[in-house]
């Protein structure tokens, strides 16, 4: 016999219950079509989440688009400060450039968004998390690995990946259900505080020069100011704390340098990169603040760190960038690499003067109370304290094995 609650059959209640899931929602094509697909085809109650990491978009418009697409609840989290302090600045301390080029802007944001997805899912009593990643891109790994590490029992649904959709098929589906997408772009664009990426369409041909209209942050060299601009960037513990002597919070410093360096034509990266999935991809990035700060930070490190520290740190930097690019933010190795980096950064303090002009970011001066540059030893003037005669004995010992090897090889 079926039990009833206030004359309502429990069997009926169970049959009408809708399972909820939390979807990372950017408002773009992939996530916009995911809402009705998940709701109408599979009956999920879709809760959408937008995490503000400095993408500079109209968050009210994104919320409206989520509800029009069929979201039952939209959550917005302002994580800009957390992103800058806990993700961007560790990357800066690591001078992180994947394959020596890409400052990891999108890669850094994904584990943070994944963390917020898990938090919202748990607070909403849901064990299903969804995102709009494709089966070709890197972001699927960055999301899935972090989500599973933080919420092992979670089920992950990636509609575009599971549906095996092309961009054309997505647009056709959106048109079929009259889904509002706003201004359509032929390019796929992702943006946050640390950088802006543009891919797709004509850019997929690596021989084609990027059209000028794709750039929003970086001016062309011809339209940049004729006069150079000098900036003084202050550092403490390896992170910037002030510009021209004016203390500022992390978000303001990054935003200011994106504006100033971009105005001077600094920050475009045109890169054929090796993706996690084994594909090569042509990527265009705009990262004025990232490239400017990394240049200044590396220069200050040369002033305060020893040769041995710099050599080992360069190897660690390459590994750190590869790990984060590959979606392994939560891996114990990243924590171990951070421990070494953190130790070195205790002495990375001081000021770096940079000159911005016509696409060039050039260091023109640096100083630090922790400097191991000794003027009295380095100078070629009369007041040098360096005993030049001591070099003769050093060279005799330094080259000993090389001379011996050369002698026996004859």
What residues are annotated to the active site? 30, 110, 139, 188
Residue 71 Cα distances to 45, 76, 122, 194, angstroms:
7, 13, 18, 29
CB atoms within 10 A of CB 298: 19
In whole angstroms, what is the distance from residue 399 CA to residue 397 CA? Answer: 6
CB 79 within 8 A of CB 116: yes
CB atoms within 10 A of CB 264: 24
* SS3 (DSSP) at 104: coil
- Strands 268-274 and 280-286 come out as antiparallel
Q: H or E element: which one contains 80?
A: helix 80-83
Q: H or E element: which one contains 185?
A: none
Give the closest residue to 334 by CA, choosing from 69, 108, 173, 37: 108
* SS3 (DSSP) at 19: coil
- Strands 246-247 and 239-243 come out as antiparallel
* Terminal alpha carbon distance of the chain: 100
DSSP letters along 288-304, please? HHHHHHHHHHHHHHHHH
In whole angstroms, what is the distance from residue 256 CA to residue 125 CA? Answer: 40
Q: H or E element: which one contains 114?
A: helix 105-123
């Amino acid at each position: 016999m079926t039990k009833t609650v206030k004359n309502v059959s429990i069997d009926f209640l169970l049959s009408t219950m809708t399972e909820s899931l939390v979807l990372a929602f950017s408002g773009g094509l992939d996530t916009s079509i995911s809402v009705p697909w998940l709701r109408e085809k599979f009956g999920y109650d879709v809760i959408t989440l937008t995490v503000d990491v400095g993408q500079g978009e109209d968050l009210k418009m994104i919320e409206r688009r989520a509800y029009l697409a069929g979201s039952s609840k939209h959550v917005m989290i302002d994580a800009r400060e957390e992103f800058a302090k806990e993700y961007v600045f560790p990357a800066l301390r690591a001078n992180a450039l994947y394959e020596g080029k890409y400052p990891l802007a999108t890669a850094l944001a994904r584990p943070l968004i994944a963390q917020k997805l898990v938090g919202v899912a748990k607070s909403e009593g849901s064990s299903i998390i969804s995102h709009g990643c494709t089966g070709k891109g890197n972001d699927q790994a960055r999301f899935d690995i972090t989500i599973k590490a933080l919420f092992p029992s979670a089920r992950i649904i990636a509609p575009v990946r599971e549906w095996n959709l092309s961009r054309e098929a997505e647009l056709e589906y959106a048109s079929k259900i009259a889904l509002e997408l706003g201004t359509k772009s032929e390019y796929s664009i992702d943006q946050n505080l640390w950088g802006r990426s543009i891919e797709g369409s004509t850019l997929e041909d690596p021989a084609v020069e990027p059209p000028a209209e794709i750039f929003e942050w970086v001016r062309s060299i011809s339209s940049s100011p004729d006069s150079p601009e000098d900036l003084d960037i202050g550092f403490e513990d390896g992170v910037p704390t002030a510009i021209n002597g004016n203390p500022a919070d992390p978000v303001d410093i990054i935003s200011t340098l994106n504006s100033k360096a971009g105005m001077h034509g600094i920050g475009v990266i045109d890169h054929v990169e090796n993706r996690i999935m084994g594909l090569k991809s042509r990527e265009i990035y705009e990262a004025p603040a990232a490239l400017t700060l990394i240049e200044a930070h590396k220069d200050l490190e040369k002033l305060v760190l020893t040769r041995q520290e710099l050599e080992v740190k360069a190897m660690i930097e390459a590994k750190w960038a590869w790990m984060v690019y590959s979606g392994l933010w939560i891996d114990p190795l990243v924590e171990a690499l951070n421990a070494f980096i953190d130790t070195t950064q205790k002495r990375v303090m001081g000021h770096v003067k940079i000159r911005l002009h016509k696409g060039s970011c050039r260091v023109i001066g640096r100083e630090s109370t922790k400097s191991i540059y000794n003027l009295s030893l380095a100078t070629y003037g009369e007041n040098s304290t360096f005993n030049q005669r001591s070099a003769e004995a050093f060279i005799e010992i330094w080259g000993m094995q090389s001379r011996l090897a050369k002698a026996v090889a004859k």
